[in-house]
Amino acid sequence: MNRAWSWVAISLIVSIVSTIALFVLYALRVSRYADVALLAVALGSFAVALGAWGKYLLPDEAVVEDRPPEPSPPSEREAAQEAFVGGKDEITRRLVLSSLLATGAGALGLAALLPLRSLGPRPGTALFHTHWRHGARLVRDDGRAIRSDELEVGSVATVFPEGYVGDADAQAMLVRVRPDLLRLSPQRLAWAPLGYVAYSKVCTHVGCPVALYRQSTHELRCPCHQSTFDVLRGAAPVSGPAPRPLPQLPLTVGRDGFLRARGDFPEPIGPSFWTRA
C-alpha cells in the first residue's frame, strides 16, 4: 500500500510539474513540439495516477456488517478510538493525495484554456478596409507604377497599392475599355478615367481571385465556381453564385501621369460577411 501511495503521489507531482513547465514554455513560445511533449507527459502521468489510485488504494471487496445495537459497548468505542488515532498517518496521506489530485486537475484545466491565446489578435475593423489610400499609385506585381498611357484598350493588369505588392486583400484587376462603352452611374464614371476601371480581385462568392478576363464580352470570370462579372456595368454578377458586384476602386490620373487611387474600395471586399445577422 505504501508503495502504491508513493507511485500515485509521484505521478501527480510529475503531472503538475509538467503542466507548469508547459505554461512557461508556451508563454515563451520556445517550441510547439516541447508544448506537445509536456502536455502528453502531464496527461499521461495524471492518468497513471488515477489508475493506480483506483486499483491499489481503493478497497475493492464488498463488506457487509450487521447493524449493532446502539450505543456500542464501551469496549468497541475504545477500540474505534484507538484505530482512529493509529490511522492518523493514513488520513494525512489521503489528504496529501487529495490536494495533489485537485492541484493537478486544476492545472490541466487551466492548460486547456491555453489554445485561446493562440487564436491571434482580434481582427477589429481590418476586414472593412484595405491598404488603398487617397493618392496611392497603382503598381504591378513587380512594383512598377502604371502610367495612364501604358495599357491598350482591352488590356488587363493585376495591381496593388504602392508599398503593398502581394497584398491579398488589396489586389485589384485593372481593365482598360473604351470609355463610351461604360454603363456606370455618374459618380462611378468619374472613378474610371480614360476608360480605366479597377475592381477588387477577391471574388464576392467565397474569395477566390477573379483572374480571367474575356475581352470580347468585357467579363471578368472567377475560375473557382465560374461567377462572371460585367466590367462595363460596375462588375455586376451576370452568372454564377457570386451574390454582389466586385467593389470598384476609385481611380484618377495624377499630375505626373500615373494612375492613382482616390481612396479605398467603397465597401468591404470579398464574401459579404457583414450583412449576416
CB of 186 to ligand FES, least distance (A): 29
176 binds ligand FES, rule: CB under 6 A: no
- Whether 116 contacts 29, CB under 8 Å: no
User: Which of 15, 227, 248, 252 touches ligand FES (CB under 6 A)?
Assistant: 227
User: Which of 13, 43, 96, 206 touches ligand FES (CB under 6 A)?
Assistant: 206
Draw the binding track, 61-100, toward ligand FES (x: CB under 6 A; -: no contact). ----------------------------------------
Q: Rounded to 5, what percent of the chain is helix, strand, coil?
A: 40, 15, 45
202 binds ligand FES, rule: CB under 6 A: no
Helix axis angle for 88-111 and 2-28, nearest 10°, is 20
User: Which of 12, 49, 170, 222 touches ligand FES (CB under 6 A)?
Assistant: 222
205 binds ligand FES, rule: CB under 6 A: yes
240 binds ligand FES, rule: CB under 6 A: yes
CB of 210 to ligand FES, least distance (A): 7
Give residue 43's region: left, alpha or beta (phi > 0; psi -120 to 50): alpha
208 binds ligand FES, rule: CB under 6 A: yes
Going through the chain in order, the beta strands assigned E by DSSP cover 138-139, 156-161, 172-176, 196-200, 212-214, 219-221, 228-230, 236-239, 248-249, 251-253, 259-261
User: Which of 225, 256, 266, 272 touches ligand FES (CB under 6 A)?
Assistant: 225
3-state secondary structure of 170: coil
CB of 225 to ligand FES, least distance (A): 3
Residues 94 and 147: their CA atoms lie apart, in Å, by 82
212 binds ligand FES, rule: CB under 6 A: no
Among 176, 173, 171, CA closest to 150? 176
Instruction: By CB under 6 A, name the binding residues for ligand FES.
Output: 203, 205-206, 208, 222, 224-225, 227, 240-242
